[in-house]
């Protein structure tokens, strides 16, 4: 979760939790028409197919209601209603934990790639993004949060723009802060694929990430700041991580 505001660091501790809290329900959707898992619990989530789908309303003190509806790890959506303020309230996401969050060295892998398909509501303040944790998860010493923003609606990353990065026909502005790196796509990407290992290797080569970091967690979701006080939907119709 991006550290554009100090409170957002709390998100990491909640992302570690894997408490499954929810009920069977149904809801109208253009994709997941018959959900098998539904939760409004702030930390509710569902383990499925080697992934974890997480409601992750980590900033409960400021957050409004949010409900997650899931058919699978790559077919789910959330309905969220957040007030008109700028702090990050929630990060509903799907993520893959590597070795139960202990991680594995980057050098263990020849490729780490991911595919995604997701769309934000087009209103309020939010960013759709990967959240990749290296050398730990959260506020531990030496941990690095590497984000890849695929859709941005009036949100600003932490730190400053330091350079650009281009891959797969997409150009990203690269933002850097202490223990934080964000690749922010200049054009909205509702679906596609990213070469995560290439991004990490590039960041290591420029000194933004320590050599041969452990890869601990790879997630994809939306950081909701505001929906202007009205219900808004984020939909995921594809997600996979391949590590070889």
pLDDT at 22 over 60: no
| Residue 91: closest CA among 224, 228, 218 | 224
For 233, the 3-state DSSP assignment is strand
DSSP per-residue codes, 102-133: T-EEGGG-S-EEEEEEEE--SSSEEEEEEEEE
Choosing among 2.60.120.180, 3.90.420.10, 3.40.50.10190, 3.40.605.10, the CATH entry for 6-243 is: 2.60.120.180
| Residue 82: closest CA among 221, 226, 223, 222 | 226
The angle at the Cα of 208, spanning 206 to 211, to the nearest 5 degrees, equals 80
pLDDT at 7 over 90: no
- How many Cβ atoms are within 10 Å of 139's Cβ, its own excluded? 12
pLDDT digits (tens, 9 = 90+) for 101-132: 999 999 999 999 999 999 999 999 999 999 99
Taking the C-alpha atoms of residue 45 and residue 95, their distance in angstroms, rounded to an integer, is 11
- What burial class does residue 18 get, using C-beta atoms within 10 Å of its C-beta: 0-12 exposed, 13-18 middle, 19+ buried? middle
| Residue 227: closest CA among 81, 112, 16, 93 | 81
| Residue 118: closest CA among 222, 235, 36 | 235
Query: How large a percentage of the chain has pLDDT more than 90?
Result: 86
For residue 1, name the pLDDT band (cuts at 50, 70, 90): low
For the chain, the domains span 6-243
pLDDT digits (tens, 9 = 90+) for 24-35: 333 334 589 999
Sign of the Cα torsion 46, 51, 53, 57 reads: positive
| Residue 129: closest CA among 77, 182, 76 | 182
pLDDT digits (tens, 9 = 90+) for 180-235: 999 999 999 999 999 999 999 999 999 999 999 999 999 999 999 999 999 999 99
């Amino acid at each position: 979760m991006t550290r554009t505001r100090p409170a957002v660091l709390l998100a990491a501790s909640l992302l570690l939790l894997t408490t499954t809290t929810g009920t069977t329900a149904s809801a109208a959707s253009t994709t997941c028409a018959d959900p098998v898992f539904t939760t409004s619990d702030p930390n509710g989530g569902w383990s499925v197919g080697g992934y974890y789908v997480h409601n992750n309303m980590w900033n409960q003190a400021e957050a409004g209601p949010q409900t997650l509806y899931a058919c699978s790890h790559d077919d789910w959506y959330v309905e969220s209603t957040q007030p008109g303020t700028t702090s990050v309230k929630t990060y509903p996401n799907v993520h893959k934990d590597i070795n139960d969050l202990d991680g594995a060295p980057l050098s263990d892998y020849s490729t780490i790639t991911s595919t995604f398909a997701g769309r934000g509501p087009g209103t309020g303040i939010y960013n759709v993004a990967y959240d990749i944790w290296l050398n730990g998860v959260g506020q531990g010493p030496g941990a690095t949060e590497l984000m890849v923003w695929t859709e941005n609606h009036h949100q600003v990353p932490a730190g400053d723009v330091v350079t650009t990065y281009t891959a797969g026909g997409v150009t990203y502005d690269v933002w850097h802060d202490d223990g934080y790196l964000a690749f922010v796509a200049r054009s909205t990407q509702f679906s596609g694929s990213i070469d995560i290992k290439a991004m990490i290797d590039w960041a290591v080569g420029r000194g933004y990430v320590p050599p041969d970091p452990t890869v601990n967690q790879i997630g994809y979701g939306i950081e909701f700041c505001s929906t202007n006080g009205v219900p808004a939907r984020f939909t995921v119709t594809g997600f996979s991580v391949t590590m070889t």
